[in-house]
Structure 1
Amino acid sequence: MNPKKVALITGAAGGIGSATASALAEEGFLLSLIDTDAERLAQLNEEWQKHTQTLLLVGDLAEAPFLQHIVKTTVDTWGHIDVLINNAAWRTLESLRTMQLETWERTLKVCLTAPAFLTKWVAENMEQQGRSGVIVNVSSVMAHRPSGMGSAYIAAKGGLESLTQETATTYGRSGIRVVGIAPGLVETPLSRDYKNDEGNDISQKLIDEMTDFVPLGRGASPQEIAEVIRWVISDSAAYITGTTLPIDGGFHFNFNKYSIKKLQLPNEF
């Protein structure tokens, strides 16, 4: 059995996923990396393989057989799993007024069902082998600050935070920690795909609006989120489980925009 630690990361070709893979590659983790984008995953893998060994798995997390394939292939390849990072996401921008059942179901499958059953099967393997481990669920501040434009995504992320609490309770006595993180504005491709009804890109306008609420005055880089994940799975965070940590520059607790604060107290903001 390989003595090195093994991490399984979904959505590994995206912003947070790839930054996390890079951070853990530097730590010497053996990596199982999952995404739908085979080309992007292969490109990024050239850098990861300078630091560690990798297993690339391309497929759709909405398909239950692929979820089982991920866990089985990872265990067959590396012998065990120490860390699972449920990072992958999928969503559309539409309210419940126009949402179709197909869209709703796919969002929940990728963002909630896949994390639930990957957790189930990874934790099962950890328990069978008598190994402790860490499962990280990537939620979003939108679970608590909804926009009205992503009903399925909001529901899935809210459910993921409840799932984090439930599974931390379920597996805690087996030495398995389950921790959520809830990023706010992060500079990833997912934050750059906003368009209006005419098809015009309005991403920067929305980013500027959201940044106006952030006490630190900027969005996060994917690397900053990855560093929190690196810490969460380390022994330094050994007494943290069941909670979801907001990583949002203070966005979730701030009441009004800084442009409004300046109107009210121009000499203080």
Structure 2
Amino acid sequence: MTKDVYVITGGSEDLAIALAQHIGQKGTLLLVDACEKCLGQVKQQLEQKGINDVRCETADLTSKQAVGKLAEKTSALGSLRGLIHAAGMSNTSDSKRMMAENVIGMSHVLEAFLPLADEATSAVMVSSMSAYMVPQNGQYMDALKQQLSANLLETLNQFTQGDAGAANSMSKLAVQLIVEDQAWAWGEKGARLNSVSPGLMNEPGACEDIQTMLDHTPLRRTAEPEEIASAIGFLLSDSASYITGIDLRIDGGAIANYPRMKAAISQQKTKRFQ
């Protein structure tokens, strides 16, 4: 009997680990990350929880050839049941690298794994609530949709001016736009493709702006990785069999309250200079 395979990129991230624990008993896990040592530690952690069918691969997802080899290894392991792209969540200050990881890397993943998709396949790309903070009427919208154009990074860098925060938000918006665009191609294979946009995770109150954001988030707290993993698990499951081409916000209501949040942050910044 052919095994179900779940591929998780960004395999050493907290979210990826929580997701691996959530779906680890459903089939073979293929964890992908740039850090071999990190993957080894995650595999050991999962084995301690009784999740033993775990394979690890290191790869640079900005390399089309490397991603192609990942798809080949996945095919050799079994049938692609789930594809979760959680890479690109690092806090790098290099705006071009961030764009490459979030946009180019994801595009390579979608292109390489599409031939493996069938009616039982569900793919989930990880975006961010910060994508909703980018005005969606700029000239950059067309550039974001042309994710594999030769001069994409240079074009987007003109809009972000090297600002890492702007690059992250804009690239996460690209994730959502690409998912909307590619849902048709995946649908032709009978497969589903969605994205999720987590809210604030990790340390609350790491800086004043973050605390202000939390104060104006309806649930008044950060998200636990397990909460994001549970939502992704739903999108991977047959319970979401008619859901595709959408972005699911998992942000504690932050974006719903964003106008007031934005005003509060602006007021807070004004006070600092008084």
Same fold (TM over 0.5): yes
Deviation (angstroms), 1:33: 0.1
Flag structure 2 segments of 5+ consecutive residues without an equivalent: 135-159, 265-274
| Residue among 172, 175, 182 paired with 2:187 | 172
Q: Is the 8 A contact 1:5 1:29 kept in 2?
A: yes
Aligned partners of 1:66, 1:161: CA distance in 2, in Å?
24
TM-score by length of 2: 0.78
8 Å CA contact 2:61–2:106 kept in 1: the answer is no
| Structure 1 counterpart of 2:199, one-letter code | G
TM-score by length of 1: 0.79
Equivalent in the alignment of 1:62: 62
Q: Secondary structure at the match of 2:222?
A: coil
Query: 1:31·1:54 contact (CA, 8 Å) conserved in 2?
Result: yes
1:210 maps to 2:213: yes
Equivalences for residues 103-252 of structure 1 within 5 A = 103-126=94-117, 130-146=118-134, 150-187=165-202, 203-252=206-255
Q: Deviations over 1:79-128 (max 9, x none)?
A: 3311110111156576xxxxxxxx443222211112112112211122xx
> Percent identical across equivalent pairs?
26
* Consecutive unaligned residues in structure 1, runs of 5 or more: 95-102, 193-201, 261-269
Following TM superposition, by how much is the alpha carbon of 1:131 offset from its aligned partner in structure 2, in angstroms?
4.6
Residues 62 and 106, structure 1, Cα contact 8 Å, conserved in 2: no
Instruction: Please give the residue correspondences for 1:249-268 in structure 2 after superposition, counting only pairs within 5 Å.
Output: 249-254=252-257, 255-257=259-261
Letter in 1 for 2:85: N
- Kept in 1: contact 2:8–2:31 (CA 8 A): yes
| Offset, 1:30 | 0.6
Shift in Å, 1:44: 1.8
Equivalent residue in structure 1 for 2:39, among 41, 46, 51: 41
Deviation at residue 32 of structure 1 after TM alignment: 0.4
Kindly provide the CA deviation profile for residues 224-248 of structure 1, in whole angstroms up to 9, marking residues without a partner as x: 0000011111011111100001000
Q: Larger deviation: 144-153 or 157-166?
A: 144-153
Instruction: Check the 8 A contact 1:220/1:248 in 2, yes or no.
Output: yes
In 2, Cα distance between equivalents of 1:157 and 1:108: 9
Give the SS at the match of 1:256.
Answer: helix
SS of 1:241's equivalent in the other structure is coil
- Larger CA deviation: 64-73 vs 230-239: 64-73
Distance 2:256 2:101 in 1: 28
The residue identity in structure 2 corresponding to 1:112 is V
CA distance in 2, matches of 1:115, 1:122: 11
